[in-house]
A and B are shown apart, each in its own frame.
Chain A
């Protein structure tokens, strides 16, 4: 078992090739206990390949993956006990009620009957599925099925939980419930790896993110560090009081700023926006110029960058191959 200060999940140079095609190229990441890693990438980026190696369903061509000190390709039996995996497909059975479904998987994990009944009650409480225990699994909505899927992954009380697209196809309410559930699991000391296309959702729950495109790790580290690494130019917004000042303010900003600090104006919002790498002092000078020109400024503020911007900066707009290949992989931050 791993010590608390050691990473629970660690991959080193993890590579998977199918013939000439490289699905995963030298992936090196680590996740500490109680952390939530957001695994981001477009379709076919290699996320599911990496997850399958971690849960022992696939063998790497080279490199290694360890969970709680156990090698994922050598110790498959131990890994099954350490990891709870929820694939992107639910895997339901006809004519099976939620309680029977959980009982079956509990028995499949070899949990003794009395202990299993207790455990089923606990996981149903955690995942808020107790009220649907007598319903047929196939009759549940997608959101309910995802909850049952989470209950199933918790049955054998694993250290690490891996969820492949848990929020896919969920409505906003179910998505919020899912987010709260994942945060609750992390608070209980579980280590989570979550893949998702819904980046704002991930940004709200993850401590660490890894961005993968075309099998290569493009960015990895704490969310704030990655944002700073990938979005060094901050975005500033100037909110004006008077609509008539918009044109004058735009002209003044274009004169003051450099050519690459492109100013965009929105007449309806009375707002001007520009990206910049300037320091706070330099920016205060810009504000002074605006005020001294008689322009009434209501707000002059930095707009927080989001995960989507960070992702697009490494994946390229639209995630096209050419632009993505230009961006060099980012070294893993601690």
Chain B
């Protein structure tokens, strides 16, 4: 019980003070407070009549609810994702585990401090929620309390998952990227099986329905009455299903993390590396088939005509090494073909537009998860490890260094984009009229990729640590991509169609969805303006990146 008491648990006290004093936490809280307040100010009724059918209040409540959910998704994983891995790398975890503190004290100290910060984050939106309530038509039992419960459950769930990842991860930035990927999987990918099998009889449908309980999206759709605005995933148990689902996942991840918080956690051998030389054996043949590019094979020297920095990036990154990327891309290819084939064969009653929308959404999710994680460490990682100083001492120009780094990410992202080409090809074969649409979608996604890479690389050049650069990149890109979709959610009122279209033109993925005629996006005309904006943002980021790296490479 002492683990849960602020004045009895030194970890909880220290972590809480540490976080409350951090500028990042203050900026996040301030941004949420300002965003929530602006939304209410925009929609505050000028007439002196009570809106008993709740239309006005609901139109503010809906984006506010989704906005707060996105804020929780963006901000909550950042601290717990680095909480344990950072202590381990600094050597302070060994001190904690060697002290009389129990693993539960350490765990709850870290978990509750983060949840408390999330409380503060949510509580700054209370005046805005109160204003929604004052507009009339919303009830405490059906809207306000369920929303606050969902947000708290999200904070607990994401903190628990991020702490579990933190206990496994080898570095802060890898922990951050896996945490954000886990949040995206829990929130969105868990809905995919329901989307495919939801209307079919059988056990697959039952499991798919159960999986939706770990995502807050159906619960948020239910309390905001927005099923029509997005895809319907409402579960039979309503928002309470999510509370149960989130509680179960939180408990499971908490137990898994506490079990891991043991001195044995530090008892890891250093990977010494081994070279596999059994080229001519059956084992060697099997390895080549499994890996394609075998990480344990002795590498040949880098030819002079290839940028050595690009090769180095491919060889050294923990996440996104070539053999893993090839597997990921192969999986994407198989999924995209599978989706297209099941539609063509009539297994599910999806139209070509829905298949295309799924492919586009799958690509967007991959680009947003992979892009910042690959690009945000490009410069910051070098500066942090001391490698930048060594690179400056070589004969390579800054331009060549930056070019090598950008190309290493660009090739990877291109492979990801190409992974779904088989799916599009089958789609165009089924419906040849979609060729033009697919071309425009691919251009939009290409520009989105460029934006993601260059924004992340630009942020990386201004940060001194890869973990900070990764967290900032995810924050900025989620705000750019998910934030603009929030405005789309509030289309009609308070935001008019012109305003929505202008905001969405900042987001090339929205242009891809509009091109493929996803429901809700059919009327939007976002090309070519969104391409031009994307190109301009990318060019600006490239310019800033060049100036900053030139500055970093100059003698002090």
Q: Which residues of A contact B (CB under 8 A)?
A: 52, 55-59, 73, 76-77, 80-81, 83, 85, 87, 89-97, 99-100, 103-110, 112-113, 116-117, 134-136, 138-139, 152
Contact = CB atoms under 8 A, between A and B. Distances in A.
Nearest to A81: B395
B272 A92 contact: no
Interface in B270-318: 270-275, 295, 298-299, 301-304, 308-309, 311-312, 315-318
Interface in B530-556: 555-556
A139 B272 CA distance: 6
Nearest to A139: B270
Nearest to B389: A87
Interface in B206-264: none
B169 to A, nearest CB: 13
29 contacts: A55-B393, A57-B389, A58-B555, A80-B393, A89-B386, A91-B389, A92-B387, A93-B312, A93-B385, A94-B317, A95-B315, A96-B312, A96-B315, A97-B273, A99-B299, A100-B299, A104-B308, A104-B311, A104-B312, A108-B309, A109-B394, A112-B304, A113-B304, A116-B301, A134-B274, A134-B298, A136-B270, A136-B273, A139-B270
A90 B395 contact: no
Contacts of B299: 97, 99-100, 103
Nearest to A86: B390
A77 B394 CA distance: 9
B385 A91 contact: yes
Nearest to B298: A134
A113 B306 CA distance: 11
Contacts of A81: 395
A113 B315 contact: no
A30 B353 CA distance: 75
Nearest to A89: B386
Contacts of B273: 97, 134-136, 139
B389 A89 contact: yes
A96 B317 CA distance: 9
Contact of A136 (B271, B303, B309): B271
Contacts of A134: 273-275, 298
B391 interface: yes
B5 interface: no
Contact of A91 (B317, B387, B556): B387
Given A107-B304, A117-B301, A134-B275, A92 B385 contact: yes
A211 B385 CA distance: 30
A59 B308 contact: no
Contacts of B43: none
A55 B392 CA distance: 10
Listed from nearest, the 9 A-B pairs whose CB atoms lie closest are A89-B386, A107-B308, A91-B386, A108-B394, A139-B270, A136-B273, A107-B302, A58-B556, A93-B316
Given A95-B295, A108-B309, A138-B271, 18 more contacts: A58-B556, A76-B555, A80-B394, A81-B395, A89-B385, A91-B389, A92-B387, A93-B312, A95-B317, A96-B316, A97-B299, A99-B298, A103-B299, A107-B302, A108-B396, A113-B304, A136-B272, A139-B273
Contacts of A91: 385-387, 389-390
B377 to A, nearest CB: 11
Contacts of B464: none
B302 A104 contact: yes
B271 A139 contact: yes
A113 B301 contact: yes
A154 B382 CA distance: 22
Contacts of B312: 93, 96, 104
Contacts of B304: 107, 110, 112-113
Contacts of A92: 385, 387
Interface of B: 270-275, 295, 298-299, 301-304, 308-309, 311-312, 315-318, 321, 385-387, 389-396, 555-556
Contacts of B275: 134
Given A56-B555, A87-B389, A109 B301 contact: no
Nearest to A136: B273
Of B298, B309, B315, B390, the most chain A CB neighbours within 10 A belong to B390
A113 B390 CA distance: 20
Of A59, A83, A91, A110, the most chain B CB neighbours within 10 A belong to A91
A103 B386 contact: no
Contacts of A113: 301-304
A108 B318 contact: no
A116 B309 CA distance: 16
Nearest to B270: A139
A58 B308 CA distance: 25
A135 B555 contact: no
A142 to B, nearest CB: 12
Contact of B308 (A97, A108, A117, A139): A108
A87 B321 contact: no
A57 B393 contact: yes
A106 B298 CA distance: 17
A97 B316 CA distance: 9
A116 B303 CA distance: 10
B315 A57 contact: no
Contact of B394 (A58, A59, A95, A105): A105
A275 to B, nearest CB: 44
A57 B385 contact: no
Given A95-B316, A134-B273, A80 B387 contact: no
A57 B556 contact: yes
Given A92-B385, A134-B298, A87 B394 contact: no
Nearest to B387: A91
A157 to B, nearest CB: 13
Contacts of B303: 113
A204 B278 CA distance: 48
Contacts of B391: 108
Given A58-B555, A59-B556, A94 B318 contact: yes
B387 A93 contact: yes
Given A92-B385, A107-B308, A108-B309, A57 B555 contact: yes
Contacts of B274: 134
Given A104-B308, A113-B301, A135-B273, A80 B395 contact: yes
Contacts of A107: 301-302, 304, 308, 311
A94 B316 contact: yes
B555 to A, nearest CB: 4
A73 B317 CA distance: 34
Contacts of B308: 104, 107-108
Contacts of B385: 89, 91-93
A85 B316 contact: no
Contact of B390 (A58, A105, A110, A139): A105
Of B273, B304, B308, the most chain A CB neighbours within 10 A belong to B273
A75 to B, nearest CB: 12
Contacts of B387: 91-93
Nearest to A103: B301
Contacts of B295: 95
B556 A52 contact: yes
A76 B556 CA distance: 13
Nearest to B299: A100
A104 B316 CA distance: 11
